[in-house]
Chain A
Amino acid sequence: MLAPPVADDREDAVRTRAYEHSLNSSTLPAGSPALEIRDIELRFGGVVALQDVSFTVTQGHIHSVIGPNGAGKSSLLNCVSGLYHPQQGSVTLHTGAEGVAHELTSFPPHKIARLGVARSFQNIELFSGLTVLENLMLGRHTHMRHSIAASLLWFGPARAQEIAHRGLVEEVIDLLSLQAFRHKPVGSLAYGIQKRVELGRALAVQPSLLLLDEPMAGMNSEEKEDMARYVLDVHELAGVTVILIEHDMAVVMDISDRVSVLDFGRLIADGTPDEVKANPAVVEAYLGAEDH
């Protein structure tokens, strides 16, 4: 985020806000595949939620997944973050170490989180009894130690650890302009701010891959603009790879590097925003087929 330009030639008058901590834990070079989804099939009893879905998310991209209601977008995200386990196919995560690929389909969610896959939820799922700060500190969970003795004792490693991780969390607070709400219980905050706290909690994980499930749902256009700005800031500053589910086409076409389109659990298009916009299958899914 740039400070407003000031007519002043002092050295520090105009300066990009410097952050000490990287919010991106992936060391993959931009442009290489970060997440490969291959032929996944997810069924609930007789209902097929996803079938033969394959696409690749490139490191450094904002990759949007769109589709009508019930197309299987959230199910797809849940397969990546381990809440659902697809019956067939593979989800492979690359986080940067040479030649190391993680097959996620059999992992429980907390192990996937440990690999740096962080997410927000469509319906806000914050820890409502805790403050904004505590919610964000929980984002640091996988990076912290949890010794019972040290925790009961407080003085020593437990306190040192709290202070050490607070630095990064404060940078997230600054990045998302949450300063005023730091010690407020999240349950008492407005909807738009809760959405921002959820983004913040995912960022505090220092993600290698960030999954955002409708971060702008239920917002007015001004709030949407703010949220889109935050997502872009995060992407630009940290270079973190984002998978975004969103219904607002204007936002999706504006900020995405690549778009995948789902309809009835199948992938019907995958390409740049312009390619997808021109794809007849997509037009049909969104506007209905012309009568023959």
Chain B
Amino acid sequence: MATATGIHHRSYKAELRLRHTKAEWARLALIFLGLFLAPYILNTYWLGIGNSILIAVIGAVGLNILVGFTGQISLGQGGFLAVGAYTSAILSTRAGLPVPVAVIVAVLATAVIGALFGLPALRLKGLYLAIATLASQEIIMFVVKRWGWLTEDKGYIEVPRLNLFGWQIERETFELQWYWILLPVTVLSVFAARNLFRTALGRSFMAVRDQDIAAEAIGVNLTRAKVTAFAVSSGFVGLSGALSAYYTETVTWERFSLDVSVLYLAMIIVGGLGSIAGSVYGAVFMMLLPALLTEAGDKVRDTAPFISEQLPAIKNAVFGLAIIAFLLVEPRGLDRIWSRIKDYIRFWPFRY
């Protein structure tokens, strides 16, 4: 219950809710209103970018569970995306499984493989673990590049246009239809991840991050906690990979290279480590930035042709500058900036 003197809870159940005040609910309602109206406002090009963002959000949330919440740094994101994409693509094109089943199996398979590659985390920490996960990235890349059986020696897998229980994706309404598939999946994924960190399991992950000796001393089984964190994180990443397979309709190894792992790390650093909302902000920021730069380059094509010619280089430079700026100015990312803005408004006209 919100009053002038603060928020007063009458039950633990009420306190455990994610949103307590009418203002918070109103803000959430506004966001959903925007999400529902977006496909009717945006043109196909921007809706396509929106769809890519929705897929990336799931992957960023997954990576943040591991890196931001459990403190286990990972450079293997691209590899785990690949596991999700290849598994679901092979299962639905060659084994003929219905798409939802193939996606669920892909999520579970990625979770298992993630847990397996998480085993070095039982012995390694920090930079050493980063190198070990880099190895897992390279091992998975090696397998998907060299194992001809995966792609029937074509080097890529072609995934037929999605047909969900007779609901065929049409060429003209491709992005719109995909938006309505991806939006609920992404919203549910984000909600599930948010839930995780108000339960005992999620808390044990954060305990491992903050103080592993004390975590052990209060009964957290470090082995189990770390492997579970790798599995849960990889499950989300596998879902993101599987969705991208059906959305892009081709699966090739180039889309899962080390660059992708680094891009996702940048997303969660810019968004905010250890924050689910931050993962969302970071994914949106990192996916939107290149698109906006392209747009800006097109605008100045006539007045300053130099800029539009050098656009790829400028994109890279801005990308790098953005990361450096965040690390310097606000290492806790967009999530922290947003909460500072909220505080400023709440306390205004006072400073604190």
A residues neighboring B (CB under 8 Å): 81-83, 108-110, 113-114, 118-119, 121, 125-130, 134, 137-142, 144-148, 150-154, 158-159, 161-163, 166-167, 201-202, 205
Whole-angstrom CA separation of A150 from B220 in the bound complex: 18
Q: Are A148 and B217 in contact (CB under 8 A)?
A: no
Supply 16 further A-B pairs (C-beta < 8 A) apart from A138-B215, A150-B199, A154-B195: A108-B216, A114-B219, A118-B218, A127-B207, A129-B206, A138-B220, A140-B200, A141-B204, A141-B219, A142-B219, A146-B199, A146-B201, A151-B201, A153-B192, A158-B200, A163-B12
List of B residues within 8 angstroms of A81 by Cβ:
217
List of A residues within 8 angstroms of B187 by Cβ:
none
Q: Are B213 and A151 in contact (CB under 8 A)?
A: no
Q: Is B299 in contact with chain A by the CB < 8 A criterion?
A: no
Instruction: For A137, give its contact among B192, B203, B210, B232 (CB under 8 Å).
Output: B203
Q: Are B210 and A141 in contact (CB under 8 A)?
A: no
Q: Which of B158-205 contact A (CB under 8 A)?
A: 192-193, 195-196, 198-204
Instruction: For B220, give its contact among A141, A159, A167 (CB under 8 Å).
Output: A141
Q: Are A127 and B201 in contact (CB under 8 A)?
A: no
B residues neighboring A (CB under 8 Å): 12-13, 16, 192-193, 195-196, 198-204, 206-207, 209-211, 213-222, 228, 231-232, 274
Q: Are A161 and B220 in contact (CB under 8 A)?
A: no
List of A residues within 8 angstroms of B211 by Cβ:
125-128
Q: Are B217 and A119 in contact (CB under 8 A)?
A: yes
Q: Are B200 and A144 in contact (CB under 8 A)?
A: yes
**Can you offer 20 A-B residue contacts whose CB atoms are under 8 A?**
A110-B219, A114-B219, A118-B217, A127-B210, A129-B210, A138-B207, A140-B200, A141-B219, A141-B220, A151-B199, A151-B200, A152-B193, A152-B196, A153-B192, A154-B198, A159-B16, A161-B200, A163-B16, A167-B12, A201-B218
List of A residues within 8 angstroms of B220 by Cβ:
110, 138, 141
B199 vs chain A, min Cβ distance (A): 4
Whole-angstrom CA separation of A161 from B12 in the bound complex: 11
List of A residues within 8 angstroms of B192 by Cβ:
152-153
Using A108-B216, A142-B218, A152-B195 as known contacts, say yes or no to A166 and B210 having CB atoms under 8 A apart: no
Main SS class of interface, A: helix
List of A residues within 8 angstroms of B203 by Cβ:
130, 134, 137-138, 141
Q: Are B206 and A109 in contact (CB under 8 A)?
A: no
Instruction: For B200, give its contact among A82, A127, A146 (CB under 8 Å).
Output: A146
Whole-angstrom CA separation of A154 from B201 in the bound complex: 11
Q: Are B204 and A146 in contact (CB under 8 A)?
A: yes
Q: Are B228 and A129 in contact (CB under 8 A)?
A: no
List of B residues within 8 angstroms of A147 by Cβ:
201
Whole-angstrom CA separation of A205 from B220 in the bound complex: 12
List of A residues within 8 angstroms of B213 by Cβ:
83, 121, 125
Instruction: For B221, give its contact among A110, A144, A201 (CB under 8 Å).
Output: A110
Whole-angstrom CA separation of A146 from B198 in the bound complex: 12
Instruction: For B12, give its contact among A83, A110, A121, A162 (CB under 8 Å).
Output: A162
Whole-angstrom CA separation of A19 from B163 in the bound complex: 60
Q: Are B214 and A153 in contact (CB under 8 A)?
A: no
Whole-angstrom CA separation of A138 from B212 in the bound complex: 12
Chain A residue with minimal CB distance to B196?
A151
Whole-angstrom CA separation of A145 from B204 in the bound complex: 11
Chain B residue with minimal CB distance to A128?
B210
List of B residues within 8 angstroms of A129 by Cβ:
206, 209-210, 274
List of B residues within 8 angstroms of A119 by Cβ:
217
Q: Are A113 and B199 in contact (CB under 8 A)?
A: no
Whole-angstrom CA separation of A273 from B221 in the bound complex: 38
B46 vs chain A, min Cβ distance (A): 31
Chain B residue with minimal CB distance to A162?
B16
Chain A residue with minimal CB distance to B192?
A152
B351 vs chain A, min Cβ distance (A): 18
Whole-angstrom CA separation of A145 from B231 in the bound complex: 18
Q: Are A125 and B274 in contact (CB under 8 A)?
A: no
Q: Are B206 and A130 in contact (CB under 8 A)?
A: yes
Whole-angstrom CA separation of A202 from B216 in the bound complex: 12
Task: Give the top 4 A-B pairs by smallest Cβ distance, nearest first.
Answer: A113-B219, A154-B195, A142-B219, A127-B210
A210 vs chain B, min Cβ distance (A): 12
Whole-angstrom CA separation of A214 from B100 in the bound complex: 57
Q: Are B219 and A127 in contact (CB under 8 A)?
A: no
List of A residues within 8 angstroms of B199 by Cβ:
146, 150-151, 154, 158, 161-162
List of A residues within 8 angstroms of B218 by Cβ:
113, 118, 138-139, 141-142, 201-202, 205
List of B residues within 8 angstroms of A152 by Cβ:
192-193, 195-196
A224 vs chain B, min Cβ distance (A): 23
B186 vs chain A, min Cβ distance (A): 15
Chain A residue with minimal CB distance to B11?
A163
Chain B residue with minimal CB distance to A119?
B217
Whole-angstrom CA separation of A201 from B210 in the bound complex: 15
